[in-house]
Amino acid sequence: MAQHHVEVAVQGPWSVATSRAFWEGFRPSALPQREGEALRSTFLVESEWRRASVSVTQLGAAAVLSLSGSGDLDLAAAQVCRFLSLDVDGRAWPEVGDRDPVIAEAQASLPGLRPCGFYSPYEAAAWSVLSQRISMSQAARLKASLLRDGVFPAPAELLGLDLDLPGRKPEYLRAVAEAALDGLLDAVTLRAMKPAAAVLAVQQVKGLGPFAAELVVLRGANVPDAVPHNEARLADEVRERYGRPLAEVSEAWRPYRTWASVHLRVLRERRLGGAVAASGR
């Protein structure tokens, strides 16, 4: 098995400890808790759909990626940077806190957090299907039943499974798998599009409505600057804290509107005593 080591110069605030703590509590795709300071995970590399493992540590302002796997580890490294938001220039992120005291509070509470949680748009789309019309805990159990050695099945493998799932979830999961194989859920492609156009494109996949499509684009592809229009809990948080609508308030968050939205959701879940959620409206 090949090994590959990459040192990434992260631009702007970032903390592997904060990212790891966030992801360990992110129920849709929670990292298993392990000893040590590194963020460790095994995932499917997009387009190849081969497994790769990574250990991420922090050396000053740099992220050190130690990868292993049988496929293209440069491709895997790029995906790690994408799903940890290390590929985003965050040097102006503190300025959002300077403009908005609520975001400043969130930044102080979550030092160095960058959005993470899903390895790919494909896995975000699969979670969206699994979590439809059921509780988070039920969806997490369904997902756990599909894992193979801790990793979600590759699209071709998923198509071959006899899925014993409620309602139309088998049909919709197969549609997600087919879309992934056809390149419709490719993270690089979705990131290159305007967020609104990407959300519309994802809605062409059977079973993925506006809420799910936003999750796929904003959290699966990790688009850094977009506002989720179908996330009621975020809208409620903004209304309670600002007394103004989300669309108006979020203008001050550019070019990190996704980041600010995630920070506010984390604060809300902490305040209400819930786990960090991605499916609740």
CB 257 within 8 A of CB 226: yes
Q: Which sequence spans correspond to the domains of the chain? A: 2-109
CATH number of 2-109: 3.30.310
User: Quick count: other Cβ atoms within 10 Å of Cβ 37?
Assistant: 11
User: What CA–CA distance (Å, rounded) separates 148 from 7?
Assistant: 30
- Best CA proximity match to 185, nearest among 171, 196, 199: 199
84-99 pLDDT tens trace:
999 999 999 999 999 9
Residue 281 has pLDDT above 80, yes or no: no
Question: What is the arithmetic mean of pLDDT over 262-272?
Answer: 91
What secondary structure letter does DSSP report for 218?
I
Residue 168 has pLDDT above 60, yes or no: yes
Q: What long-range pairs does 171-174 form, CB within 8 A, spacing at least 24?
A: 171/206, 171/207, 172/129, 172/132, 172/206, 172/207, 172/208, 173/126, 173/129, 173/130, 173/207
Query: Cα 234–237–238 angle (5° rounding)?
Result: 90
Amino acid code (one letter) for 132: Q
User: What CA–CA distance (Å, rounded) separates 279 from 234?
Assistant: 12
User: What CA–CA distance (Å, rounded) separates 274 from 281?
Assistant: 14
Question: What is the arithmetic mean of pLDDT over 170-177?
Answer: 98
Q: How many CA atoms lie within 13 A of 99 on its CB side?
A: 14
208-242 pLDDT tens trace:
999 999 999 999 999 999 999 999 999 999 999 99
User: What CA–CA distance (Å, rounded) separates 239 from 178?
Assistant: 39
Residue 278 has pLDDT above 60, yes or no: no
Residue 279 has pLDDT above 90, yes or no: no
3-state secondary structure of 156: helix
- What separation in angstroms does the CA of 69 have from each of 3, 53, 140, 150, 281? 7, 6, 27, 15, 37
Q: Is 85 left (phi over 0), alpha (psi -120 to 50) or beta?
A: left
**Residue 30 burial class via C-beta count within 10 angstroms: exposed 0-12, middle 13-18, buried 19 and up:** middle
**How confident is the model at residue 242, as a pLDDT?**
97
Number of helices and strands in the chain (H, E): 14, 4
Write out the H or E segment, with its range, that includes residue 267: helix 257-272
Residues contacting 139, CB < 8 A, separation 6+:
28, 127, 130, 131, 279
Look over the chain and give the mean of its residue pLDDT values, rounded to a whole number: 94
- pLDDT tier at 35, thresholds 50, 70, 90: confident
